Amino acid sequence: MNLRFLTAGESHGPELNIIIEGIPASLEINPEDINADLKRRQGGYGRGGRMKIEKDQVIFTGGMRLGKTIGGPLSVRIINNDYKNWDVAMSPVSQDLSNPEVVEKIQSKYVSRVRPGHADLVGALKYNHEDVRNVLERSSARETTSRVVVGAICKRLLKEFNVSVLSYVIRIGSVSIDLKSLGTNYSELFSKAEQSEVRCPDVKVSELMKEEITKARTLGDTLGGLIHIVASNVPPGLGSYTQWDKRLNGRIAGALMSVHTVKSVEVGLGKMVSEFFGSQVHDQIYIDEKWNNDRLRYKRKTNNAGGIEGGMSNGQPIVCTVATKPIPTLIKPLDSVDIKSKTNTQAHFERSDICVVPAAGVVLEAMLAYVLSNTFLEKFGSDSIEELTDNYNHYMKRCFAR
């Protein structure tokens, strides 16, 4: 069975719900590990007031017993603390519309001025909504909270096989880090980034990024950026070249592009491959003279492919560069229209962030972990951790001997 998940719930509704199917039995899961990633998602310089209201904590309601998975679907809840301020306007059940106070509370949350760059207008057209609140509540990036839960569980699965997924910020607005100075010690870069409010591994650049965000706030504007997402110790052979929809790079790109704020995904050198000769791009292969049947016999001196060749992981770190747009909710709104009055106006402003780039990295980690876990289970079996481990060890032993 393939790994899959569904999420439900609105941004200001009572709660978020997650169903995850396909996690093997006997995987130990500590809710605090998941809560730690949820806290990381809520952090970062440039976040809005909502982060001060919500203290996201997971509540497992199915698929777990005594701290371990039992093979059935996992069901998880996250309570929206802010719902108490929206309990009438966002009530899932009908309200007494003969009560003027109830009507006033509902009308106070009515939205008809759509925001450029958001799902508002097209969503209202697609689902025939008059009140755009029905669109923005589900299209809100609050939904990524649920994805972080899924990703944290997938990271826990990958940890069984020493696979790690991490991220760090390399650009916010016009401020960027010198990529040549970074090196490839990804765990060290991640550790440094976790000490930064903008999740950048360079202290000086972090301060410049914060200044850029402060400037955007002063201007009533928003900022996007670039993020590195890295998976280390990935075994060779995840994904396949046999069909277009099995290719690992396509699956990763699709998952990362599904995150609300993402506009482009690059693997390895990405678009820079168009600037060089093939002899400068492709990672040459050598025999590892220090090989002792304890790792792959073949090695590379570069990783321009970003750990993926022919639609499959090749044993090197998987490295993606993801571009995120400035979020479309601006303190100084853009020109737009009111779909109720059919007039030109300015876009609706909803309490929001100035910059979500640091938090986006956590969500992107989750989506990469999900794809890798899925391909892992496809390759090695998925009923129990014991079966998965046996199959993995047998495969790696065979690869090492080649």
pLDDT, tens only, 232-251: 999 999 999 999 999 999 99
pLDDT at 50 over 60: no
pLDDT value for 351: 74
Q: What's the average model confidence in pLDDT over 140-146?
A: 96
Where does residue 138 rank: exposed (0-12), middle (13-18), buried (19+ CB within 10 A)?
A: middle
pLDDT value for 48: 67
319-354 per-position pLDDT tens digit: 999 999 999 989 999 999 999 999 999 999 887 799
pLDDT value for 2: 84
Q: Binning pLDDT at 50, 70 and 90, where does residue 143 land?
A: very high
Report the distance separating Cα 148 and Cα 132, nearest Å. Answer: 26
pLDDT at 92 over 70: yes
Return the residue matching tokens 């990958």: 158
144-161 per-position pLDDT tens digit: 999 999 999 999 999 999
Report the distance separating Cα 285 and Cα 198, nearest Å. Answer: 37
* H or E stretch at 73: none
pLDDT value for 49: 62
Phi, psi for 281 (deg, rounded to 5)? -100, -50
| Higher per-residue confidence, 374 vs 46 | 374
What is the DSSP secondary-structure string of 258-320? TSTTEEEEEETTGGGGGGS-HHHHS--EEE-TT--SSS-SEEES--TTTTEETTEE-SSPEEE
Residue 307 near residue 253, CB atoms below 8 Å: no
pLDDT at 261 over 90: yes
pLDDT value for 293: 86
| % of the chain beyond a pLDDT of 90 | 91
Nearest residue to 124 (alpha-carbon basis) of 133, 140, 342: 133
Q: For 151-172, b where at least 16 C-beta lie within 10 A, e where not — what string?
A: bbbbbbbbeebebbbbbbbbbb
**How many alpha carbons lie under 13 Å from residue 196 in its C-beta half-sphere?**
25
Report the distance separating Cα 239 and Cα 237, nearest Å. Answer: 6
Cβ partners under 8 Å of residue 27, min gap 6: 68, 69, 156, 157, 160, 385
CB atoms within 10 A of CB 92: 7
Report the distance separating Cα 264 and Cα 325, nearest Å. Answer: 9
Report the distance separating Cα 346 and Cα 115, nearest Å. Answer: 8
Describe the strand order of the beta sheet including 15-21 as a list of residue ranges: 4-8, 15-21, 74-79, 59-62
Phi, psi for 364 (deg, rounded to 5)? -65, -35
The percent helix, strand, coil of the chain (3-state, each to 5) is 40, 20, 40
| Higher per-residue confidence, 19 vs 296 | 19
Cβ partners under 8 Å of residue 21, min gap 6: 1, 3, 4, 5, 73, 74
Domains of the chain: 4-401 (3.60.150.10)
Q: Binning pLDDT at 50, 70 and 90, where does residue 265 land?
A: very high
pLDDT at 297 over 90: yes
pLDDT value for 352: 78
Where does residue 70 rank: exposed (0-12), middle (13-18), buried (19+ CB within 10 A)?
A: middle
100-128 per-position pLDDT tens digit: 999 999 999 999 999 999 999 999 999 99
Report the distance separating Cα 371 and Cα 259, nearest Å. Answer: 13
pLDDT value for 51: 58
| % of the chain beyond a pLDDT of 70 | 99
55-75 per-position pLDDT tens digit: 899 999 999 999 999 999 999
160-215 per-position pLDDT tens digit: 999 999 999 999 999 999 998 899 999 999 999 999 999 999 999 999 999 999 99
Phi, psi for 395 (deg, rounded to 5)? -65, -45
Average pLDDT for the chain? 95
